[in-house]
Amino acid sequence: MKIVVAVKSVAALDDEFELSSDASAVDPDYLEWDLNEWDGFSLEAALELREAAGEGEVVALTVGAQDAEEALLNCLAKGADRGVRIWDDALEGADPLAVATVLAAAVEREAPDLVLCGVQSSDAVNGATGIALAGLLDLAHVAVVRSLDYDPATATATVERELEGGLVELLSVRLPALLTIQTGINQPRYATLRAIKQAREKPLAVEDLAALGLSEADLATAAGSRRRALAIPDRGDGAEMLGGSVEQMAERIAELVKERTG
Amino acid sequence: MPRDPKYDILFEPIQIGPKTLKNRFYQVPHCIGAGSEKPGMQAYHRGMKAEGGWAACCTEYCSIHPESDDTSRVSARIWDEGDVRNLAAMCDRLHEFGALAGIELWYGGPHAPCMETRATPRGPSQVASDFELNIFPRYMDKDDIDTVQQMYVDAALRAREAGFDIIYVYGAHAYLPFQFLSPYYNRRSDEYGGSFENRARFWRESLIKVREAVGDDCAIASRFAVDHLLGPASIEVGEDGVRFVEHCDDVVDLWDFTVGDIAEWGQNAGPSRFFEENHEAPYTKQVKLGNHTNKPVVGVGRITNPDTMVAIIKSGQYDIIGAARPSISDPFLPQKIDEGRLDDIRECIGCNQCISRWEIGGPPMVCTQNATAGEEYRRGWHPEKFHPAANREKGVLVIGAGPAGMECAMVLGKRDFSAVHLVEGSQEIGGCVNWISKLGHSDGKENLFRGSARGLGEWQRIVNYRQIQLGKLKNVEVHLGSSLSVEQVLEYGAEIVIVATGCHFATDGLNAATHAPIEGADATLDWQLTPDEVVAGAKAIGKRVLVLENEAYFMGVSVAQKLAGEGHEVHIVTQAADIAKYMDYTLEAPMLHRDLHRLGVKVHPQTMLEKIEPGVCHAYNIWDPSHKDRFEVDSVVLCTARISDDQIYRELKSDRARLEAEGIEAVYVIGDAAAPRMIVDSIFDGHRLAREIDSPHPEMPLPFIRERRLWGNSGNGDYRAQLLNTADVAVV
Amino acid sequence: MAGVLVVAEARRGELREVSLELITAARQVKSAAGGRLAVALIDADAPAHAAALAADGVDEVLTVSSPAPHFEAHIAARALSALIEAERPALVLLGHTIDAMGFGPAVAARGRLGFASDVVALDWDDGPLVRRGAYGDKLLDELEFPERACTLLMLRPGSFTPATPAAGTGGAVRAVELPGLLDDARSEHLGFREVQAGDVDITKADFLLSIGRGIADRDNIPRFEELAERLGATLSVSRPIVDAGWMPSARQVGQSGKTVKPRLYLAFGISGAVQHLAGMRTAETIIAVNTDPEAPIFGVAHYGAVADMFELADVLEAKFA
């Protein structure tokens, strides 16, 4: 069984940050990179499926610059068999549809039984790349999966889709398919120091657009949007901050509680 | 990051007499166990705070004459030129960092038993001290008064010579000047007793004389307990308190306010389990807010929160934020506020471990949050500077994220180890602190005195601080919910393994008093519990409970408080002379006793259990075992021995060949897993190992400087030579 | 291509309110986009909701009767693609909802449409101009869609006020026939599961005391249960508490939990992830307690206290004997 896990190295913004000189992006000095929280869960789901099957291959795939290598190594350390990183300078600032186009070329080459993505990334929060990818590959897909049971005999995944309002839908889908995985589905494992060291010995391919048979023009055709500007949001009035000691704050809150709940 | 403008007010300079404080952060006089006879410790501990941005740092109480001798408690002394030279080291160091140096001139009177000097203390009346050994003073006639006032003057002259900028005439904590002021001590009928003005005369004259001697060069300060907390029998803030401030306002450049005395000075150095931040405000704020002074005011109250500090100044409560314990916990508090690094502040938890060592008399100070407190000179440790370890390319596995493990992993991380994994079996970081911090509550009601049992919640800051720091260290990974077997540890890939797996309570009554289990003790039964089980709440506890406390600190009594607060009938039994002995030293005892009494807890000291049966505990008096007692109870809590959880350490050590095959070069054990101890010592243990992990034999602590007389000629070089590991010595 | 196509949503027989929010958004740009506003609903029982969707400004309601009893992502995708081809709108609006996340991006990708999701503001400048959060809402991204004849946007629920549903009289309704839709289904619905009934319904509470990640330990929860009781509040939680298995999801406030609108919402140790704020930002009075002064929740709260939640809770509890 071959599972491709599409992962993302996400940037966390320091409290203090600056925009680049042309205000088109955040100055990279203020970014900290990590494996996207959702992808830890989808990788774990893939590893558990491989363990249950007793065989198989888990491939970690990412579109990202050199900064993203760490996240990929993290996946390899946790148990992915192979890593693939795709990058081209033209991919800087790429939107979900452009990324999905690039991923589609890579996934097509892998021809997996299952593709797992996170529901969303913590920095861009588009919640779209996975399903866009499914659309391009014409794969059966389910988004926002909170539990996953796989029956190899029928190649069927029985999943729960997490809906608004605490409702859950149970449905089944036949593989090949693409699922976007929600946090809390499992307990992601940690990698030991040995595994981290050995991760560097696992295959990690770095490729550009040309290697996938794509051109910059293809990206332009695929892109769904273009950034016009990046702005710091107007906070509005925000909260009236209570000052003083904890005692004084509690006193004020108690007053408010009594007022508001009469 | 730039400073948040709302804190600008804390960085405004302020004039005190002829001196200027560069900001509002002021380290008030406090003890550290250094005095004048450990000048290195004195200079480097105070100096660390100056480096961290405090505008002024003061000595501890500083004896002006051999008649004021508190041995075995360590005070500073300024009796002679040798003391001048030693204390000058402190002044020089403070000045290097732009801070002012303060000295708290002290004459203790009957509160200071003179055990070393064998002199006779003097006092306003022959009223025995209410503190400790009930010493009597010699009555001071007019000649004696002149003599003692001259001691202040001579001391002040020496202080100026040493380089001090701020010179106190110290009368808080019921020391001599206060003894004259207060009718609780002063029974005189001459011009130094009786009316307010008479009682104030000694103090005012002393201030005037000191001022005349050094006032042009130095700021004259006075530490004054505005309220003795004894009601009309002594000084009350609304009466003689504010009156005294008005009376001496013209001869003081800086007021330093406290409350209470020395007999129960926990009302001033309030532990967090009974007192909230800024707890002295109801008393001390009355002075400025009542317009009784035109001079700058500094005050304390375990103030740790920058927002509270701003509020205090803006509300007119104080002009200057005084701190002892918050400055010990984080000497770099001012700098961190200035740099917008609020989450790097290591907040004081109000455990009073620092104070406890002085109370015991002799040992150097310690701090639960700041393992470098007291170690600045003798080990050369700096709280914010860590030298990259020589062996930092080694991978480190720390097993257990309790106090020792967290501290060790954090320091290793700060020492630039390439990869540190802190692996914790439970879902939370913090270890025993997580459940211990839930204790300390009783029924939430007002105590008989001030305050109520507000719990040990502030102790959770031990975890908060380390969790944040560990999160910032890119080279440290924290794994939760990951319980490693010996096999997994062997295959982990770490060259250094550090076991920090804590300890558990004995379930069979094994205890420090008899070194044996107790017949019938079995905390696996559902009607017997260990303290952690009480907090966990899984076992039902019957109405009548007996708590056996053989541990001399907070655990047994805290369990008793909790259960009594929840409505149980509680008996505490201890073989010791009294319950919770160590809490005498942390100043938590008086409020604890009041709470236990109010809750109706029955305390049975000097009593030990010999047999536990369902429904009945059989006890005996330790002085006469044939003197029996029986307690009819439904549940029993055994707060007895703790036993290290060191199995994984023993197993790892047992197969050297395997360790070598797996590339594990060293295995260490720290904290409770090595030997059950107080949290402050577990954190120190983890810290020390990490600081010395690249020494030739890390398991064995390196020598530290002992400040002692060396026979023959000796200089500072001889002291420095005692340190072997000069690489990590930032400052010596 | 011109005009706006709104894709409404229904679930288990009920029209979802986001549908009406989309209509408001559409009306804002309707004339700039070419004047026509159509609302489509792909549902087993689409005609039943058609009348309500014919709000002011809506020119036509298009109903597609889905052969599947419940939402099926592939049917929805195919149906939407077909509608876009037939109606040729310049702008397609979906809600950024769980259902829409299941097919919207696929339609946009296959159709090489302009695309943006979780959009909070919509404008028009020779084409749609939108704003969405970046870096978890620390920044705002302004996006445009050059050279796209049609753009598909997914709008964040709660960003636009819901249009008043039509009274049920008039407004053009047209049934769109799309044969063969069932063949497009690629998943099988097996059932729904409510979260445990018998637990408290937090959407009905007037006063919610909510705890979040700051609680740090399951064992700290009883303390706050007690506090809630003392204060007369119902206890609710944010997502991490439910993820950890410490509280049932019935107590969860947030996008995947319940949306609540109590008179008073008192939050302890909740930083304010967008998904959580989505569930409570319309509460009448919001008081937030957090040690992080930059916590996003302070942006929506009416009162904030930067303090340790445990310390403050203890002091607060004492005031409600």
Residues of chain C with C-beta less than 8 angstroms from the C-beta of B435: 219
**Which architecture, in CATH terms, is C202-318?**
3-Layer(aba) Sandwich (3.40)
* Domain range list for chain C: 4-184, 202-318
- Residue whose C-alpha is closest to residue B88's, from B29, B36, B31, B153: B36
Contacts B–C by Cβ distance under 8 A = 36
Same fold, C4-184 and C202-318: yes
**Pairing verdict, β B569-573 and B544-549:** parallel
- Would you call A128 and C284 a contact, using CB atoms and an 8 Å cutoff? no
pLDDT at position C26 is 97
CA distances from B216 to B22, B83, B158, C62 (A): 19, 23, 15, 92
Coil, helix or strand at residue A149: strand
Distance CA C122, CA A172 (A): 36
Amino acid letter at B155?
A
**Pairing verdict, β A31-35 and A9-13:** antiparallel
Q: How many CA atoms lie within 13 A of B407 on its CB side?
A: 30
Q: Which residue has the higher pLDDT, B124 or C257?
A: B124
> What is the average per-residue pLDDT within C153-182?
84
Q: Which of C213, C215, C218, C219 to mutate to test the interface with B (most CBs of B within 10 A)?
A: C219
pLDDT digits (tens, 9 = 90+) for C206-231: 899 999 988 988 889 999 999 998 99
Q: Which of C217, C306, C317 faces B434 most closely, judged by CB atoms?
A: C217
- Would you call B276 and C216 a contact, using CB atoms and an 8 Å cutoff? no
Amino acid letter at C20?
L
- Would you call C219 and B455 a contact, using CB atoms and an 8 Å cutoff? no
Q: Which of B276, B310, B494 faces A246 most closely, judged by CB atoms?
A: B276
Confidence band, pLDDT 50/70/90 cuts, at residue C196: low
Task: Please identify which residue in the block is written with the tokens 């934020």.
Answer: B321
- Would you call C305 and A253 a contact, using CB atoms and an 8 Å cutoff? yes
Amino acid letter at A235?
R
Show which of residues 210-239 on chain C sit within 8 Å of chain B, judged by CB atoms.
216-220, 222-223
pLDDT digits (tens, 9 = 90+) for B305-358: 888 899 899 999 999 999 999 999 999 999 999 998 988 999 999 999 999 999
- Would you call A233 and C139 a contact, using CB atoms and an 8 Å cutoff? yes
Active-site residues of B, by number, are 175
* pLDDT of B646 higher than 80: yes
* pLDDT of B370 higher than 60: yes
Q: Which of B311, B481, B494 faces A243 most closely, judged by CB atoms?
A: B311
Amino acid letter at B319?
D
Amino acid letter at A208?
D
pLDDT at position A219 is 94
pLDDT digits (tens, 9 = 90+) for B471-485: 899 999 999 999 999
Q: Which of A184, A228, A242 faces C304 most closely, judged by CB atoms?
A: A242
CATH number at residue A69: 3.40.50.620
> What is the average per-residue pLDDT within B439-447?
77
**Pairing verdict, β B166-170 and B219-227:** parallel
pLDDT digits (tens, 9 = 90+) for B113-132: 999 999 999 999 999 999 87
pTM: 0.87
Q: Tell me, what's the ipTM?
A: 0.89
pLDDT digits (tens, 9 = 90+) for B242-251: 999 999 999 9
Q: Which of C98, C148, C207 faces A164 most closely, judged by CB atoms?
A: C98
pLDDT digits (tens, 9 = 90+) for B613-636: 999 999 999 999 999 999 999 999
Q: How many helices (H) and strands (E) does chain A have?
A: 7, 13
Cβ neighbours for B692, distance < 8 A, ≥ 6 positions apart: B698, B701, B702, B725, B728
Q: Which residue of A has its CA nearest to B397?
A: A193
Residues A67/A14, Cβ–Cβ less than 8 Å: no
Distance CA B345, CA B332 (A): 8
- Residue whose C-alpha is closest to residue B109's, from B123, B97, B95: B123
- Residue whose C-alpha is closest to residue A183's, from C201, B478, B479, C241: C241
CA distances from C276 to B217, C239, C252 (A): 61, 7, 9
Distance in Å, alpha carbon of A242 to nearest chain B alpha carbon = 10
Distance CA A252, CA B280 (A): 21
Residues of chain B with C-beta less than 8 angstroms from the C-beta of A250: none
- Kindly report which listed range (A10-19, B450-459, B485-494, B684-693) carries the lowest average pLDDT score: A10-19
pLDDT digits (tens, 9 = 90+) for C46-81: 999 998 999 989 999 999 999 999 999 999 999 999
pLDDT digits (tens, 9 = 90+) for A20-32: 777 778 887 778 8
Q: Which of C106, C144, C300 faces A226 most closely, judged by CB atoms?
A: C144
pLDDT at position B712 is 86
> What is the average per-residue pLDDT within B165-186?
97
Residues B236/B178, Cβ–Cβ less than 8 Å: no
Show which of residues 467-526 on chain B sit within 8 Å of chain A, judged by CB atoms.
477, 479, 481-482, 488, 491-494
Q: Which of C216, C222, C318 faces B444 most closely, judged by CB atoms?
A: C318
CA distances from B345 to B342, B691, C292, C294 (A): 5, 21, 13, 17
% of chain B surpassing 90 pLDDT? 89
Distance CA A42, CA A52 (A): 15
Distance CA B220, CA B254 (A): 7
Q: Which H/E stretch holds residue B256?
A: strand B254-259
Q: Which H/E stretch holds residue A52?
A: helix A37-53
- Would you call A248 and B311 a contact, using CB atoms and an 8 Å cutoff? yes
Beta strands in B523-579 (DSSP E): 528-529, 544-549, 569-573
Confidence band, pLDDT 50/70/90 cuts, at residue A143: very high
Q: How many domains does chain A have?
A: 1
The three-point CA angle B253-B257-B261 to 5° equals 130
Coil, helix or strand at residue B496: strand
Task: Please identify which residue in the block is written with the tokens 């050059």.
Answer: C146
Token pair listed for B731: 């400052």
A92 touches chain B (CB under 8 A): no
Q: Which H/E stretch holds residue A38?
A: helix A37-53
Q: Which of B272, B277, B307 to mutate to test the interface with A (most CBs of A within 10 A)?
A: B307
Report phi then psi at C34, rounded to 5. 120, 10
Cβ neighbours for C204, distance < 8 A, ≥ 6 positions apart: none
Distance CA B267, CA B274 (A): 9
Distance CA C129, CA B500 (A): 57
Q: Round to the nearest angstrom and report the end-to-end CA distance of chain A.
A: 62
Q: Which residue of B has its CA nearest to C214?
A: B464
Q: Which H/E stretch holds residue B598?
A: helix B589-598
Residues B91/B144, Cβ–Cβ less than 8 Å: no
- C198: phi > 0 → left, psi -120 to 50 → alpha, else beta; which? left
Distance CA C285, CA C300 (A): 10
Token pair listed for B605: 């000291």
* pLDDT of B6 higher than 60: yes
- Would you call A134 and C106 a contact, using CB atoms and an 8 Å cutoff? yes
Sheet holding B395-399, edge to edge: B476-479, B419-423, B395-399, B496-499, B666-669
pLDDT digits (tens, 9 = 90+) for B557-572: 999 999 999 999 999 9
Residues of chain B with C-beta less than 8 angstroms from the C-beta of C315: 276, 454
Q: Which residue of C has its CA nearest to B461?
A: C308
- Would you call A166 and C137 a contact, using CB atoms and an 8 Å cutoff? no
Q: How many CA atoms lie within 13 A of B500 on its CB side?
A: 36
Residues of chain C with C-beta less than 8 angstroms from the C-beta of A131: 101-106
For chain C, give the secondary structure using H, E and C: CCCEEEECCEECCEECCHHHHHHHHHHHHCCCCCCCEEEEEEECCHHHHHHHHCCCCCCEEEEEECCCCCCCHHHHHHHHHHHHHHHCCCEEEEECCHHHHCCHHHHHHHCCCEEEEEEEEEEECCCEEEEEEECCCCEEEEEECCCCCCEEEEECCCCCCCCCCCCCCCCEEEECCCCCHHHHCCEEEEEEECCCCCCCCHHHCCEEEEECHHHCCHHHHHHHHHHHHHHCCEEEECHHHHHCCCCCHHHEECCCCECCCCCEEEEECCCCCHHHHHHHCCCCEEEEEECCCCCCHHHHCCEEEECCHHHHHHHHHHCCC
Q: Interface partners of A (3+ CB pairs, < 8 Å)?
A: B, C
Q: Is the dihedral of CA B52, B56, B59, B60 positive or negative?
A: negative
A111 touches chain B (CB under 8 A): no
Q: Which H/E stretch holds residue A218?
A: helix A216-222
Confidence band, pLDDT 50/70/90 cuts, at residue B291: very high
Q: Which residue of B has its CA nearest to A34?
A: B474
Coil, helix or strand at residue A197: helix
Q: A228 lies in which domain range?
A: 2-261
Q: Which residue of B has its CA nearest to A15?
A: B1
Residues of chain C with C-beta less than 8 angstroms from the C-beta of A121: none
Distance in Å, alpha carbon of C259 to nearest chain B alpha carbon = 29
Q: Which residue of A has its CA nearest to B314?
A: A244
Q: Which of A96, A161, A226 faces C146 most closely, judged by CB atoms?
A: A226
Q: Which of C102, C109, C193 faces A100 most closely, judged by CB atoms?
A: C109
Residues of chain B with C-beta less than 8 angstroms from the C-beta of A244: 307-308, 311
Helical residues (DSSP H) of B315-442, grouped into ranges:
325-329, 333-338, 353-360, 403-414, 433-436
Instruction: Enumerate the β-bridge partners of residue A164.
Output: none
**Which architecture, in CATH terms, is C4-184?**
3-Layer(aba) Sandwich (3.40)
Q: Which residue of B has its CA nearest to A74?
A: B477
- Would you call C314 and B460 a contact, using CB atoms and an 8 Å cutoff? no
pLDDT at position C170 is 56
pLDDT at position B243 is 98
Residues of chain A with C-beta less than 8 angstroms from the C-beta of C250: 166
- Would you call C219 and B435 a contact, using CB atoms and an 8 Å cutoff? yes
Distance in Å, alpha carbon of C246 to nearest chain B alpha carbon = 12
Question: Domains (ranges, CATH) in chain B?
Answer: 5-360 (3.20.20.70), 395-502+645-682 (3.40.50.720), 509-642 (3.50.50.60)
* pLDDT of A194 higher than 90: yes
Token pair listed for C92: 């397609």
Q: Which residue of C has its CA nearest to B458?
A: C311
Distance CA C23, CA C25 (A): 5
Confidence band, pLDDT 50/70/90 cuts, at residue C281: confident
Residues of chain A with C-beta less than 8 angstroms from the C-beta of C108: 97, 128, 132, 135, 224
Q: Interface partners of B (3+ CB pairs, < 8 Å)?
A: A, C
B536 touches chain C (CB under 8 A): yes
Contacts A–B by Cβ distance under 8 A = 46
* CB crowding C72-97: b at 16 or more within 10 Å, else e: bbbbbbbbbbebbeebebbbbbbbbb
* pLDDT of B732 higher than 50: no
Q: Which residue of B has its CA nearest to C244?
A: B427
Helical residues (DSSP H) of B295-377, grouped into ranges:
306-314, 325-329, 333-338, 353-360
Residues of chain A with C-beta less than 8 angstroms from the C-beta of B302: none
* pLDDT of C11 higher than 70: yes
CA distances from A211 to A72, A108, B667 (A): 19, 13, 48
Average pLDDT, rounded, for chain A: 92
* pLDDT of B449 higher than 70: no
